[in-house]
């Protein structure tokens, strides 16, 4: 398969595929006589794994680990599960932080009159200043 075939089958762009190759995240494809990349089923699976893993929040380095586990016949599903649950814990921490940010912003918005005046408790609070700089 050529890169455009792989792009169609994985939903990745050719640029993304070349990027993953450049970063060493996938097994290097063979090169044909004319120098074009030649992909096999294994490449499709690795690239699909990368694409799906990125969609659920794994970083490039974490994807490297996952591809390594994918290619390791001696892997244990317990290791993959632990790795995944670690990612879940990180995502939950991000959700908690995002909820706290949202709550703070909602509180700031509730304190603001939202009218045509220049007085804005949001700006005052975020700047650490006081209203109209009269302090």
- Return the domain boundaries, the chain: 1-56, 76-135
Q: What is the pLDDT of residues 83-125, one digit of tens each?
A: 999 999 999 999 999 999 999 999 999 999 889 988 888 999 9
78-97 as b/e: b if 16+ CB within 10 A:
eeeeeeeeebeeeeeeeeee
Q: What is the structure's pLDDT at 133?
A: 52
Model pTM score: 0.77
Tell me the backbone φ, ψ of residue 30, rounded to 5 degrees. Answer: -70, 160
Q: What is the structure's pLDDT at 131?
A: 58
Q: What is the pLDDT of residues 46-73, one digit of tens each?
A: 999 999 999 999 999 999 999 999 999 9
Query: Could you say which of 1.10.1660.10, 1.10.357.140, 3.40.50.300, 3.40.50.620 is the CATH number of the domain covering 1-56?
Result: 1.10.1660.10
Q: What is the structure's pLDDT at 46?
A: 97
SS3 73: coil
Cα–Cα distance list, 133 to 16, 40, 43, 89, 125 (Å): 50, 66, 61, 43, 12
């Amino acid at each position: 398969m050529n890169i455009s075939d792989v792009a169609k089958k994985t939903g990745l762009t050719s640029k993304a595929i070349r990027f993953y190759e450049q970063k060493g995240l996938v097994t290097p494809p063979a090169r044909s006589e004319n120098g074009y990349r030649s992909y096999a089923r294994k490449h499709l699976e690795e690239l699909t794994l990368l694409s799906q893993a990125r969609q659920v929040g794994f970083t490039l380095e974490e994807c490297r680990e996952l591809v390594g586990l994918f290619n390791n016949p001696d892997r244990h599903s317990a290791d993959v599960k632990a790795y995944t649950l670690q990612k879940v814990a990180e995502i939950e921490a991000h959700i908690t932080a995002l909820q706290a940010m949202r709550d703070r912003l909602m509180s700031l918005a509730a304190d603001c009159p939202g009218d045509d005046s220049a007085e804005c408790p949001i700006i005052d609070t975020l700047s650490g200043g006081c209203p109209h700089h009269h302090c």
